[in-house]
């Protein structure tokens, strides 16, 4: 059930939208606000799943201002601007407009705008396993920042720390140890109802499923449960990004199997390339060839080590979709601030490379 807050100052329009929302089975009304300030206050404290805002709100604060402030106060909330055909509005997630509902509009259009329409329901999200056979190549860094870029583009994004023992996402973001994790999820069938409750709201509104805080808890998690969680998250998110362990254990294989796409993180160092070659051979043996795309992302691509992009693509017979430069300063500053660099320094070349990676993934998914 999604909770929706309505921000509308015209009583007739409010009544009409309220009646439409009442007919949506998956939505309950969190309230109707006629004033911008009261609306922002309620969105800030209650963080509803959806806020619908009249783009033509009268008074000092416009509907667009309200959208921006709700986005800042509750990044995980889906914001829908309501307008009329004479005043067209474009969705602009970076300005807090995830979708637009044009009055009078029917139930189908409303469902799509709210992200609960039939179209939204059948289309399961894309599951991306960020994998590398070699440790320390940048899996965690790329997974987290990729999730944030996709979220900034208005996608619903979940990030799963698939490294059940000594996972690092909680440390990178300095999540308090009391935050709920994978071990707080009931197994198998009961998982569906409680998965929303254990998600940590990460930067920019990325929903994070953390791995356990203590190493001994890793044994409590079954590989099959990781796959189930990934699929459940894909039901309610456009993208599920999974930070994957390097060792090909049962967990790793379950993650790779459940993924719709594998992002293989490599560098131009010969040891990494050789290991990537072996991993790709394993993927072929597992029957992934032709079944799920495997895309290469080169991290620290400026450390050429004698290898070129073309040479690497030839050696591994796979496409390179992005080259990410080394940037110790931006990366370490972002770690100090516990803010992913794509949000802390969006114009840095390292962040631009992540934009390119996200674009490549989105176009791959369209194919
Ligand atoms: N492009 C980059 N520029 C600068 N520093 C980077 C870059 N990519 C990653 N790093 C840094 O390199 C280190 C290793 O990266 P990261 O932890 O993401 O790798 P990993 O593959 O997840 O490692 P592990 O195998 O241990 O899980 C981190 O300190 C990270 O901040
Ligand atoms: Mg890691």
Phi, psi (5° rounding) for residue 363? Answer: -75, -30
Three-class SS state of 158: strand
Q: Is the peptide bond between 104 and the residue preceding it cis, with omega within 30 degrees of 0? A: yes
For the stretch 73-76, contacts whose Cβ atoms lie closer than 8 Å and that sit 24 or more positions apart, written own/partner, are 73/40, 73/43, 73/44, 74/43, 74/44, 74/47, 74/48, 74/205, 75/151, 75/201, 75/203, 75/204, 75/205, 76/47, 76/49, 76/201, 76/205, 76/207
Distance (angstroms) between ligand 1 centre and the Cα of 215 equals 21
State which ligand 1 atom lies nearest to the alpha carbon of 243: 22
Segment 111-170, tens digit of pLDDT:
889 988 655 544 589 999 999 999 999 999 999 999 999 999 999 999 999 999 999 999
The pLDDT value given to residue 313: 96
The pLDDT value given to residue 190: 78
The pLDDT value given to residue 122: 47
132 CB under 6 A from ligand 1? yes
Distance (angstroms) between ligand 1 centre and the Cα of 139 equals 7
Number of other CB atoms surrounding residue 22 within 10 Å: 11
Query: Which of 141, 251, 326, 328 gets mutated to test ligand 1 (max ligand atoms within 8 A of its CB)?
Result: 141
Distance (angstroms) between ligand 2 centre and the Cα of 233 equals 21
Residue 162 corresponds to which tokens in the numbers above? 């698939």
How many angstroms separate the CA atoms of 110 and 79, rounded? 13
Same fold, 2-120 and 124-366: yes
328 CB under 6 A from ligand 1? yes
The pLDDT value given to residue 32: 96
State which ligand 1 atom lies nearest to the alpha carbon of 332: 31
pTM, to two decimals: 0.73
Architecture of domain 124-366: 3-Layer(aba) Sandwich (3.40)
211 CB under 6 A from ligand 1? no
Residues in the chain predicted with pLDDT less than 50, given as ranges, are 121-122
Query: Which of 132, 135, 136 gets mutated to test ligand 1 (max ligand atoms within 8 A of its CB)?
Result: 136
The pLDDT value given to residue 54: 95
138 CB under 6 A from ligand 1? yes
Q: Which ligand is nearest to the CA of 331?
A: 1
Domain boundaries, the chain: 2-120, 124-366
CATH of domain 2-120: 3.40.50.2300
Number of other CB atoms surrounding residue 198 within 10 Å: 20
Query: Which of 140, 243, 344, 348 gets mutated to test ligand 1 (max ligand atoms within 8 A of its CB)?
Result: 140
Q: Are 174 and 256 in contact (CB under 8 A)?
A: no
State which ligand 1 atom lies nearest to the alpha carbon of 132: 21
State which ligand 1 atom lies nearest to the alpha carbon of 265: 21
Number of other CB atoms surrounding residue 335 within 10 Å: 17
Query: Which of 132, 272, 279, 331 gets mutated to test ligand 1 (max ligand atoms within 8 A of its CB)?
Result: 331
């Amino acid at each position: 059930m999604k909770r929706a807050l309505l921000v509308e100052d015209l009583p007739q329009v409010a009544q009409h939208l309220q009646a439409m929302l009442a007919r949506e089975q998956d939505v309950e009304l969190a309230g109707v606000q006629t004033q911008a300030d009261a609306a922002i206050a309620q969105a800030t404290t209650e963080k509803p799943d959806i806020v619908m805002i009249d783009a033509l709100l009268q008074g000092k604060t416009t509907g667009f201002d309200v959208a921006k402030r709700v986005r800042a106060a509750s990044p995980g909330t889906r914001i829908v601007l309501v307008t009329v055909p004479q005043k067209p509005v474009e969705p602009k997630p970076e300005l807090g407009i995830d979708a637009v509902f044009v009055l009078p509009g029917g139930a189908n259009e409303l469902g799509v705008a709210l992200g609960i329409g039939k179209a939204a329901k059948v289309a399961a999200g894309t599951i991306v396993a960020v994998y590398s056979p070699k440790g320390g190549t940048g899996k965690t860094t790329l997974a987290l920042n990729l999730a944030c870029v996709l979220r900034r583009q208005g996608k619903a994004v979940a990030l799963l720390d698939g490294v059940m023992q000594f996972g690092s996402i909680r440390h990178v973001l300095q999540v308090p140890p009391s935050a709920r994790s994978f071990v707080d999820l009931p197994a198998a069938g009961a998982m569906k109802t409680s998965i929303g409750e254990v998600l940590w709201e990460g930067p920019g509104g990325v929903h994070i499923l953390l791995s356990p805080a203590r190493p001994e808890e890793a044994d409590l998690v079954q590989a099959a449960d990781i796959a189930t969680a990934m699929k459940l998250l894909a039901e309610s998110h456009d993208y599920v990004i999974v930070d994957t362990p390097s060792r090909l254990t049962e967990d790793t294989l379950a993650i790779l199997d459940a993924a719709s796409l594998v992002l293989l993180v490599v560098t131009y160092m010969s040891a990494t390339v050789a290991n990537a070659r072996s991993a790709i051979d394993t993927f072929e043996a597992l029957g992934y060839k032709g079944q799920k795309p495997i895309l290469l992302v080169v991290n620290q691509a400026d450390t050429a080590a004698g290898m070129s992009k073309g040479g690497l693509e030839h050696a591994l017979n796979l496409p390179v979709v992005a080259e990410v430069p080394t940037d110790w300063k931006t990366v370490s500053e972002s770690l100090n601030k516990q803010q992913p660099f794509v949000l802390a320094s969006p114009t840095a070349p390292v962040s631009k490379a992540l934009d390119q990676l996200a674009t490549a993934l989105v176009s791959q998914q369209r194919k």
